[in-house]
Structure 1
């Protein structure tokens, strides 16, 4: 049942342009009966902004070519239907920012819905791949760059005076995402002559965090929010994920990638049977108590060389899995999940230096966060951080940035009242964002809002065993499940997903809605979802 029609409301300064927009609408789910004029577009400015420019271009059906943008290769998305490509540039008077909102409007195949797509790492939005995919599936698609740079370009962090650019960080934190929703609805309403029947947000990682920011701060923007592997608790986990490098540098021990893999292989083998069957998947790494010291003295072959695992290697892995602590032993954050990939290019990456000695190679996202936003010195050498300095940096990041980008407010009561639905999956072996942070947030929401059953009415979390960061994208019909929940009231109790086990084989599994977990029935093919059932943890 449709909750409401989303009506675009203009606010703020007068229209940026006064031009023709079609007003007729033919059909309910598709615009096949009528093509629309993309020559010009009118966009009222969202509150607190000015519209600097509006550019609208007709794009013919065919292939969308997405350029290479470090670290991602070029992409070519074929069979994209004709669409109107609208770019709206906004600024906040006196703040000197220039944030672009892109809206792609399928000419003849619109399904009546908006899908806004999020970003990744330090990029606030999409460069064409997700937009093209949404248009192919009939959506009007939108994204924003928030006025910042690409995935790993953090040159926008500080202004010319060496201070944090508060306006751009606010944009990146949440402000631009809300304004993109406002602009997209205005453009849709004008171009098609009616509002979108439903509005969805879809993002993973940074995009997942943006989805949570929308639910927390702008609960009326979207009917459904798909926010996966979310980078919530940003001010904490970004510092916390530098911990593997801090450990190796302080212990002066740098295991090779082969050695890290040996620890993970042994841990997965030891903890695999905990869900009732050996299937190459660890249902819950948090229950895995494998001690890395069991491998001391064993050998691994790495690039033709035989290496012996030492007590120092095992101590490093124990600290990484355990997670950051103060020098007095107080836990600061969760560690990398057992079984998650540690080696280069991830959090415990090591590579040979000029002398052939292994040295740590920090992952660029937490490294840049600590250097540019916390230390406010982009050239700061994170390899010099001591254990005590790490605690100071962690606390400083919390104090300075939780309010603007923490995205961890557990009060979702306004989102619940709006009728919105929030769906999230997170890989159990996420090598970049510790899964326990998402679980902890869900628990905080339950404490705030009256328990698991009440929260299940509008917010469901699914945890995927054996799954790395954002690795379920395309392996489960998560958006379809969200649509059925929003539009038909069918709340998902499971998500059927294709997983890859430790042997590299594909298996199907029904991911269970938290807090339930998957348990083998005792019979049937372990590679088939029907051989498992969802049970509460105390039945495990």
Structure 2
């Protein structure tokens, strides 16, 4: 079999398409306790077919059958009870300067559920996370993931436009095309349905697929998606520069978070009031009130801290035009987690540029022009994905300061504006704003139902996700269980029956990132 068009971004599109615990398990490398076992002649024949596969602009680097029931990650985590699987590794070079690694796991034919799953990455990627393939293959999926072309580390993108393209969109698409052909060769048929499951950077990957390559996947889970990528990293830089000039102690951070929770408590239902913020949308008056309350709660906070907090909660604006680049840190979320992740600026300005000297005028314009057309997944026109029957579930946590809720909420609203109908959008896309969920351990909801199963049932059975039962679990005990309703609906409280209820929520309420910081996509 020949994997064609891996050297061209404009290849003919192929009509073939979280559980959150899978999304956040990362390993840079892995070891296996494997024993050499005899494989059946039928499986050996399939392996030989894969070893003989020709890859234009790339190569097959490994084909092996593995019977080991355990997998040990580089940091010592162990996955047990793995089924036998065939492991295939590819390297793809669609252009000079591009180097994309792909890993594919295939359950034995009798265990395959006839479905393919693309698995998203995190952060700057740069490595294959085989542990992330363990859950899918145990569930019967043929699954694949990629390093997104950024190995060995994020500095691979310094001055390299091909890496920008790979990280932005190309690596995920080419992984999908190649993996589906491997699936077809191994099983003698292609997948009946194809799904993508990713969070954070993986959410960006999922939305890029829906927007650029709508035929790749039948259903997509885009959890906490970092899709408004270049404005998001401008927000990281904005926060980083402020916090370097005016640092906060851990105690001060805690008191600022507490001030946000306390101030917003009056708008919350009794079960969560004062514990976390379930809807952090706010205005300038709210920011002033939270800053004042923080100063009242913590006398060590100075006027300089107060001014820093105003800027952090408001978010970056263009230094010359005043246009909105991104929104600010949500009330009740971690200030300390909201900075760093500045590798994109090295990609554009090189490693010698001092990050604290990057300005929010001409420098941000240069940065945006270079990266945004490749990295941002901001196209609200999902009509091709909708017409082919695609289904999309998107989530964002209200206490997430690493990928704040604003851009995803606004993206959903822009999709509604494009289609001209909330009902139309709800027929193929659901967005859940998850109260108190952060990018890691947080103050609120930390467990959602199996979103991959939800999107699969929606696509294959027509079962609309609707209400999700979410929980906060600490040390194995459920502290809170509450229903989540698709945005713009919210979880309310019925005092007469002491139970949750659905209430109508507003759309909008966040400043829209200026259009010129979300330029049209290009290849």
Please give the TM-score of this superposition, normalised by the length of structure 2.
0.81
* Whole-Å separation in 2 of the counterparts to 1:34 and 1:479: 34
Structure 2 counterpart of 1:130, from 132, 135, 152: 132
User: Which structure has more helix as a fraction of its residues?
Assistant: 2
Alignment match, 2:43: 36
* Whole-Å separation in 2 of the counterparts to 1:145 and 1:467: 27
Alignment match, 1:381: 354
* Whole-Å separation in 2 of the counterparts to 1:264 and 1:175: 39
* Whole-Å separation in 2 of the counterparts to 1:296 and 1:122: 34
Structure 1 counterpart of 2:327, from 318, 331, 334: 334
**1:390 to 2:360 alignment:** yes
Evaluate the alpha carbon distance shift between residue 96 and residue 369 of structure 1 in structure 2; reply closer, same or farther with a 3 A threshold. Answer: closer
Alignment of 1:286-365 (within 5 A): 286-287=281-282, 289=286, 291-295=289-293, 298=296, 308-327=300-319, 329-343=322-336, 346-347=337-338, 362-363=339-340, 365=341
Deviation of 1:417 after TM superposition, in Å, equals 1.3
Deviation of 1:67 after TM superposition, in Å, equals 1.5
Alignment match, 1:350: none
User: Deviations along 1:198-244, whole A, 9 cap, x unmatched?
Assistant: 11101001110000010011100011011111111212111122211
Structure 1 unaligned residues grouped into runs of 5+:
1-7, 15-32, 69-73, 159-163, 301-306, 348-361
Evaluate the alpha carbon distance shift between residue 100 and residue 330 of structure 1 in structure 2; reply closer, same or farther with a 3 A threshold. Answer: closer
Evaluate the alpha carbon distance shift between residue 511 and residue 297 of structure 1 in structure 2; reply closer, same or farther with a 3 A threshold. Answer: closer
Alignment match, 2:13: none
Alignment match, 2:214: 219
1:521–1:533: 8 Å Cα contact kept in structure 2?
no
Evaluate the alpha carbon distance shift between residue 515 and residue 296 of structure 1 in structure 2; reply closer, same or farther with a 3 A threshold. Answer: closer
Deviation of 1:12 after TM superposition, in Å, equals 4.3
Structure 2 unaligned residues grouped into runs of 5+:
8-39, 508-523
Evaluate the alpha carbon distance shift between residue 146 and residue 299 of structure 1 in structure 2; reply closer, same or farther with a 3 A threshold. Answer: closer
Alignment of 1:488-507 (within 5 A): 488-499=461-472, 506-507=479-480
RMSD: 2.8
Structure 2 counterpart of 1:485, from 458, 462, 468: 458
Alignment match, 2:19: none
Alignment match, 2:156: 156
Alignment match, 2:512: none
Number of residues of Structure 1 aligned to a counterpart in Structure 2: 462
* Whole-Å separation in 2 of the counterparts to 1:125 and 1:521: 48
Alignment match, 1:97: 98
1:339–1:429: 8 Å Cα contact kept in structure 2?
yes
Alignment match, 1:207: 202
Deviation of 1:122 after TM superposition, in Å, equals 0.7
1:241–1:433: 8 Å Cα contact kept in structure 2?
no
Structure 2 counterpart of 1:67, from 62, 71, 74: 74
Alignment match, 2:483: 510
* Whole-Å separation in 2 of the counterparts to 1:188 and 1:248: 49
Alignment match, 2:500: 531
